[in-house]
Amino acid sequence: MKELLKLFARIIQRTNINLRETGFDVKPYVNNLINLDHMTKFYAFYGITPSHPLSFEFLHSSLAGSYFLGKIRTTNSILYKSDIRGDELKQKGDVVHYKGFDIELPKDEMIDIEDSILIKTLVHNFSHDPETLEKFFIRSTVSTQYANIHGSPTDGSFVGPFATIDLTTMTDCVIGAFSYVQASEISHLNVAPGTIWVRSPDVFNFWYRYPAEQLAHYIYFEAGKPPQGLFMDFVEDRKEAFQRIFDVVNIEHPVSVPHNASLDRFAVVKAKTHISENVLVSQRAFLQNAWLGKGANAQENCYIINSRLEGNNVTAHGAKIVEAHLGHQVFIGFNSFLRGRADARLTIGQDSVIMPHTIIDINKPLNIPPGSLVWGLINDQASLEENSVSLKEFSKVRSFFSKGRMFFEGNGAAFVGVFRDRIQHILEANGALYNGVKNKGHAQKNQNISFNTIQPYPNGDFSGLYPTILIKP
């Protein structure tokens, strides 16, 4: 345990050095987040498939309960029950098109995590930065519970609980709890909790911030205390269901899965769940009385309960859907929280976009019209009208638009186009459009994964750390 404590202190110091200009001290925010004694109690595991490049290097790191897929290197890092998903890594010879440049990769891309603490964080490598095409790096960074680092090379930063940094190169930044940032490149910023910021430089800028007093009911995080609020209670209440799937070697799910769909071994599936063709259910997803139509997906850390998704639905990382009915091709963004009630169902019309980190929490039935763009905090019809607009109308915006606490400047059609292109990419990548011959994606490629476990030193100075491990094809 001596070496693990030294590593923990080293990472905090390195992160604080990077954040010195912001005046932010990481230490009081992470000291009580994990019990380091738990680092010896969980095995880490990795997947091997014929469809994904294989290369793992674990050097002077602790990996308790974490999951790895692809080509990944960790050095001097602590990863606790985090998912490091490298199933969209670029390969040698791939050509990336960027603003008139055609850039050919001279070698395979690799996820490289160094001097970082990632606690129950999802890392997905759909990276975009033309300057770092061969290495998707996370350095001197601390990330907390249920955060997403999605296609975002990150250096010297802190990511709060339920926050998402998406397709953004980030340097020396603090991202507050439940904030979502997709802004191309940012540095030396302290983003307040509950900020939703989507920017394409010189094209558009979308901004919304939750009222602090209302956000605190859902997620609240302060120095010296663990995250608190309804979001934490929601996942903690279902924590026991996940325990069994990690304790049992051979597990059978109580549902049938079509030959062209994929249900991950480490997902929780309760009875009365239906899985259609081309459906993807990722690890740590939770399904209970869920009906997933053709091409729908439930990504990592998603919860779908007492709900029906008609098909080609995207439920992005960490989103939660309870007592709802979604039409075809509805997009639910990262870490969104959608909660109807048994006697107050939420209905979302087809082709709607629910922005990342949206909260819809209702006590009366609510119907969102087809083709809507929705954001912010919604509790009833009045707040829906304040926090939504039709995609058709939004596409007409040419300079400035505001509604409630949301401000937008730039080209609305470009904004809508980016989301539609993103949804199309996700559907293609996940195999939703597979026709039996073409358009294979994760739903088809993930069917034949063998999982292997690795464990740390059980006691002594190195207790909780893993020995140096190199796994090659």
Residue 200 CA: distances (Å) to CA of 136, 179, 197:
21, 17, 10
Together in a domain, 341 and 303: yes
Together in a domain, 326 and 401: yes
Q: How confident is the model at residue 36 (pLDDT cuts 50, 70, 90)?
A: confident
Predicted confidence (pLDDT) per residue in 426-448, tens digit: 999 999 999 999 999 999 999 88
pTM exceeding the 0.75 threshold for the entire prediction: yes
117 is a domain residue: yes
Task: For the beta carbon of residue 203, count every other beta carbon within 10 angstroms.
Answer: 14
Predicted confidence (pLDDT) per residue in 447-457, tens digit: 889 999 999 99
Q: What is the pLDDT of residue 215?
A: 98
Residue 91 CA: distances (Å) to CA of 105, 131, 353, 430:
7, 16, 32, 18
Q: What is the pLDDT of residue 254?
A: 84
Together in a domain, 365 and 460: no
Closest alpha carbon to 75 in 64, 86, 61 = 61
Domain span including residue 370: 238-445
233 Rama sector, left if φ>0, alpha if ψ -120 to 50, beta otherwise: alpha
Q: What is the pLDDT of residue 276?
A: 98
Together in a domain, 375 and 408: yes
| Cβ atoms of 112 and 136 closer than 8 Å | yes
Q: What is the pLDDT of residue 247?
A: 83
Average pLDDT of 215-222? 97
90 is a domain residue: yes
Together in a domain, 169 and 158: yes
- Mean pLDDT estimate for the chain: 95
Q: What is the pLDDT of residue 118?
A: 98
89 is a domain residue: yes
Q: Which of 57-66, 121-130, 456-465 has the lowest mean pLDDT?
A: 121-130
Predicted confidence (pLDDT) per residue in 116-156, tens digit: 999 999 999 888 888 888 999 999 999 999 999 999 999 99
Residue type, 362: I
Together in a domain, 152 and 245: no
Predicted confidence (pLDDT) per residue in 284-339, tens digit: 999 999 999 999 999 999 999 999 999 999 999 999 999 999 999 999 999 999 99
Total domains present in the chain: 2
Together in a domain, 156 and 213: yes
Domain of residue 177, CATH code: 2.160.10.10
Predicted confidence (pLDDT) per residue in 244-271, tens digit: 888 877 778 889 999 999 999 999 999 8
232 is a domain residue: no
215 is a domain residue: yes
84 is a domain residue: yes
Together in a domain, 244 and 223: no
| Cα–chain center distance at 342 | 27
353 is a domain residue: yes
Together in a domain, 302 and 196: no
Predicted confidence (pLDDT) per residue in 324-356, tens digit: 999 999 999 999 999 999 999 999 999 999 999
75 is a domain residue: yes
Together in a domain, 310 and 199: no
Together in a domain, 456 and 437: no
Together in a domain, 316 and 347: yes
